[in-house]
Amino acid sequence: MAGVAAEGTRKSRVAPYLLSIPALAWLAVFFVVPLWSLLRTSLSTTSGSVYLPEQTFSWEWSNYATAFSTYGTQFTRSFVYAGLATLAALLLGYPLAYVIAFKAGRFKNVLLGLVILPFFVTFLVRTIAWKTILGDDGWVVSLLQTVGILGPDDHILSTAFAVVLGLTYNFLPFMLLPIYVSLEKIDMRLVEAASDLYSPGGRAFRKVILPLSLPGVFAGTLLTFIPAAGDFINAQYLGSANTTMIGTVIQKQFLIIKDYPVAAALSFVLMAIILIGVLVYARVLGTEEIA
């Protein structure tokens, strides 16, 4: 019996590792190998024609110097736009998630369905739709000109505001849904207890609801900021040459200019900056559930 028990204990210890093999194999094939290939490319030189470029691994660190010196403005602009879009999505998404979680009642599923409904339309089509809406002959510009907010020659399209607006719209569900999940898990008896302890609604929100919803805020801000920082669709269709983001630069380096080493170096720099930012952000916000 002791031997059987020991065998069972040994199998129970090995089982989690065996179950993780498919996931580890998937990560190795589709994450580690491409990442290693990208790293080698970023340290290579390009030769041959534009149509048939060839890469030679040569520890070419100057590609990273080019990434910082030539495209520093695009990096800064991308993080500023992504930060503004994340803040706007938080200001819009948190109240809406609160209403859906606590006030929607039987309409909760309907509202959640409306939140995810844009995902049934492709990202590109949604962005092009905003290009039509914000065009000089669109109803938004006409309305703002009628009420005097915009002048006769003013426009919204091809501005930084249009790019941030597009980023906010496209990534708003990524902010709202994690916050909604955190809010829905809150036991409302805690709020009632706060009220019994002479904490009004606003104080109960600050002391109970907001701290308990921080994991959702953390996840939502990351899910919004990270893809927004690397996005190139909104900047390309809603912006101009003066609003180019680093994602647009990488896309052009890969697909048009075909300078693969510089494009790979730009990608690695972007990943490194975002990774460091995420670690710092997690350290500052840090809740027990996040940790």
- pLDDT, tens only, 32-86: 898 899 899 999 887 766 666 677 888 889 889 888 889 999 999 999 999 999 9
**Domain at 65-285, CATH homologous superfamily:** MetI-like (1.10.3720.10)
* SS3 letters across the chain: CHHHHHHHHHHHHHHHHHHHHHHHHHHHHHHHHHHHHHHHHHCEEEEECCCCEEEEECCCCHHHHHHHHHHHHHHHHHHHHHHHHHHHHHHHHHHHHHHHHHHCHHHHHHHHHHHHHHHHCCHHHHHHHHHHHCCCCCHHHHHHHHCCCCCCCCCCCCCHHHHHHHHHHHHHHHHHHHHHHHHHCCCHHHHHHHHHCCCCHHHHHHHHHHHHCHHHHHHHHHHHHHHHHCCCHHHHHHCCHHHCCHHHHHHHHHHHHCCHHHHHHHHHHHHHHHHHHHHHHHHHHCCCCCC
Per-residue pLDDT of the chain (291 residues; tens, 9 = 90+): 555 555 556 666 777 778 888 888 998 888 889 889 989 999 988 776 666 667 788 888 988 988 888 999 999 999 999 999 999 999 999 999 999 998 888 888 999 999 999 889 999 999 999 999 998 888 888 888 888 888 888 889 999 999 999 999 999 999 999 999 999 988 877 777 766 665 666 777 887 888 889 999 999 999 999 999 999 999 999 999 899 999 999 999 988 888 889 999 999 999 999 999 998 988 887 654 444
pTM: 0.86
Tens-digit pLDDT profile for residues 136-145: 888 888 888 8
